[in-house]
Chain A
Amino acid sequence: MEGYEHLVGHRFPGGTYTLPGWLSWLWADAAQLPPDDDAAHPALAYLVAMQGAGVSIQDIFDLMDATADSGVMFGECQLDYHGIMRPGATYECDGEIIEVQRKSGRRAGVFDKLSFRVGLREPGAAEPVAVCTNTWIFPRAAGS
């Protein structure tokens, strides 16, 4: 059974992402919360991390040889903040895969846990505004 531990240390392309005000508004609306023109919801650090790191959900599925309909699940998310997210602000992002583990459980069967971390910095800043660490679960059919 092939594992994916070789992906640890894989760096994402990185880049910059400007958080559009309209997207901040839509995020709040999609979450059935009142939008705030002055502060983006802190959860948007997740989106900025994904957009700014230059990696899509599909890209990560591809790295893990998973398809969109294979039942991939969000396992854990950690967000560390040193400032607030702002609509219209630009963030420099860099990230990498920090852990991949193959596990098995009586109910879940065989699955891979992949964790990746992305830092978000305002241009020129030494300290990140936020650091986003995600763990996703990739179910595996026996023998895959």
Chain B
Amino acid sequence: MAAREISVGQQLEPLVIESVDPARMKTMAAILQDPNPIHYDTAVTQALGLGDKPVNQGPINLTWLIESAVRFAGGPERLVSVKIRFLGNVFGGERFECTGTVGAVDHDAGVAELELSATSDGRPVLGGVAVVTLGS
């Protein structure tokens, strides 16, 4: 994306996962070697008072928020940094949506700061900031 096209207040294209897939959480549990059963055993989520759906892994949620910044910036090579706070759980079957706004642009430094957030079935679940380089 060319630098002249980016301005403060500009909205990022929302990234939407229409239904968070519990089966893919099992794949990610194996990839991460994550022993936490809340990602695959709903008996545990129930015992912990988290309901009857598995909890999506933080790294998957992180991936989605980063993806929204990367798509806006025009590629992973333009991602400088990202800082993300995990505010709540994302459960299987929910609708996940990342949104973002350009919070600041420094044309001299050639970077923009993106204010990112995500909801799952409408609940706030992630917040963060990404810094991306501007295109030439």
Question: Which residue numbers of A lie inside 8 Å of B, CB to CB?
Answer: 23, 26-27, 29-33, 39, 41-43, 46-47, 50, 56-58, 61, 68-69, 71-81, 83-85
B136 at the A interface (CB under 8 A): no
Q: Bound complex: CA of A69 vs CA of B66, how far in Å?
A: 28
> What are 11 sample pairs from A and B whose C-beta atoms fall under 8 A apart?
A26-B27, A26-B31, A30-B25, A39-B77, A47-B32, A57-B32, A68-B35, A68-B37, A73-B86, A74-B58, A75-B86
In the complex, the answer to whether B81 meets A30 with C-beta atoms within 8 Å is no
A-side contacts of B17, CB under 8 Å:
32
Give Cα distance in the complex from A29 to B64, angstroms: 12
Task: Compute the total of residue contacts between A and B using a CB distance below 8 Å.
Answer: 104
Binding site for A on B (CB under 8 A): 17, 21, 24-25, 27-28, 31-38, 44, 47-48, 58-60, 62-64, 66-67, 70, 75-77, 79-86
With A30-B24, A33-B67 in contact, is A46–B59 under 8 Å at CB? yes
